[in-house]
Structure 1
Amino acid sequence: MGNATHFSTKERILGAAEELFAQHGFAGTSLRQVTGRADVNIAAVNYHFGSKENLVNEVFRRRMDDMTSQRLALLKAALEQHSGELEPILAAFVEPALALAQDRHGGGAFVRVIARAYAEKNDGLRQFLSDHYGHVLREFGKAIADCVPGLSKEELYWRLDFFSGALTYAMADFGLIKRPHGISEAAHRERAARELIRFAAAGLRADRNK
């Protein structure tokens, strides 16, 4: 019983923090607001997280750990089953992210939290993400580099940066192309993934001399 209560309190705090960070940003959200939304006292937040900065980090970890494991599993399968092919590697990076964005259990709020992270330039969070998830980008970078051997490392990383930005934009659903009436979310997501992969593959393969 104790473990279930422990788990649910921690999850309630994370869920409340995610919603508030999405609405008000990191700087604009107080721990008092989080405790009010989660219906816990400040001691519970301090016990589970220790600080507001760590709470921010854990909101990301809760979503990113699952997405990361999915990405790496799909990358491994792509390299084993489609050796030398660029598109399956890009799909391994794109599809788990778009699935997360459409997760009915707060996925939309988390995407807004990502947008806040871009807007607020939170150095502590940036360092946390680099330390914990930088290896994922490096693994994908290496796999993609093997498919586009003509690119210098600098050119590759410019293109990967633009690819990541385009994926974030697609996750946020800010784009001009809204889900057409009568098309399911899953079908729309598959179309978005397909178009983004095609676009990114063309960009990564583009002749650098033109």
Structure 2
Amino acid sequence: MSSVDDLSGKKRAILIAAEKCFASQSYEGVSIRDIAHEAGVPIALIGYYFGAKNELYHAIFEYHSSYISERLAALRQARQHSDPATALSNIVNVYILPTLKLKDDEEGNYFSRMVMRGVIDQHEASERISKEFYDPMAREFMAALQEALPHASPESIHWSYQFALGALLHHVLDTRTERLSAGLCPAHQGDLAAPYLVNFIIAGIRSATSGNLA
């Protein structure tokens, strides 16, 4: 049975505590003791429910697997049913907006920051997560871009994905925007940032795939 099949009480408290810890510091910097303290449970209980730290890390993504599956399904839907005139916009929207919506939810914010931190840290546990949960989404996004922009070279599609992810990653992790904008751009309100980020990424993809490189 999956460790998240019957998630309630102390199991849920442990997962939420782990998300908080992994979101705030590197995977290597988080100890089982830290998570137990955050959850208010004995250290041994974490091992009993989830096993080693890497298995607990994986269990968090199992817990959120429906969100990941929904994003992948939305990408496939946009790829198959978008009008050519709006295909690129639809693809970028369904790729970006769920993450911004998640960021605005307190628990979701821990998870989204944890995901992005894993991308930056590139540790062994996050490599497993990338291959299992996120590589299929990356390939679907790039395939959708290639179909929406048939003139684009495969190389430009790959780099477009890479840089789009970079912009999203930075926005999710950055906490300076409210300070730098003197309060005009609150970091916690993704709905305000969404049209700017989406338009920025769309314009970047169009430019990167145009073939007119400096």
> TM class by shorter-chain length?
0.7 to 0.9
Find out whether 1:74 has 2:74 as its counterpart: yes
Mapped to 2, the partners of 1:62 and 1:78 lie a distance apart of 25
Partner secondary structure for residue 86 of structure 1: helix
Q: Paired residue for 1:123?
A: 124
Q: Paired residue for 1:135?
A: 136
Within 5 Å, give how 1:55-66 maps onto structure 2. 55-63=56-64, 65-66=65-66
- TM-score where L is the length of structure 1: 0.81
Q: Paired residue for 1:92?
A: 94
CA deviation after TM superposition for structure 1 residue 177, in Å: 4.8
Q: Paired residue for 1:180?
A: 184
Structure 2: unaligned runs, 5 residues or longer = none
Within 5 Å, give how 1:1-210 maps onto structure 2. 7-63=8-64, 65-84=65-84, 85-104=87-106, 106-174=107-175, 175=177, 176-177=180-181, 180=184, 188-206=189-207, 207-210=210-213
Given that residues 14 and 35 in structure 2 are in contact (C-alpha distance below 8 angstroms), is that contact kept between their aligned partners in structure 1? yes
Given that residues 19 and 111 in structure 2 are in contact (C-alpha distance below 8 angstroms), is that contact kept between their aligned partners in structure 1? yes
CA deviation after TM superposition for structure 1 residue 6, in Å: 5.7
Mapped to 2, the partners of 1:4 and 1:94 lie a distance apart of 28
Mapped to 2, the partners of 1:47 and 1:75 lie a distance apart of 37
Sequence identity percentage: 30
Mapped to 2, the partners of 1:200 and 1:194 lie a distance apart of 10
C-alpha RMSD over aligned residues? 2.8
Given that residues 92 and 198 in structure 2 are in contact (C-alpha distance below 8 angstroms), is that contact kept between their aligned partners in structure 1? yes
Mapped to 2, the partners of 1:190 and 1:42 lie a distance apart of 39
CA deviation after TM superposition for structure 1 residue 119, in Å: 4.2
Given that residues 36 and 46 in structure 2 are in contact (C-alpha distance below 8 angstroms), is that contact kept between their aligned partners in structure 1? yes
Mapped to 2, the partners of 1:35 and 1:178 lie a distance apart of 38
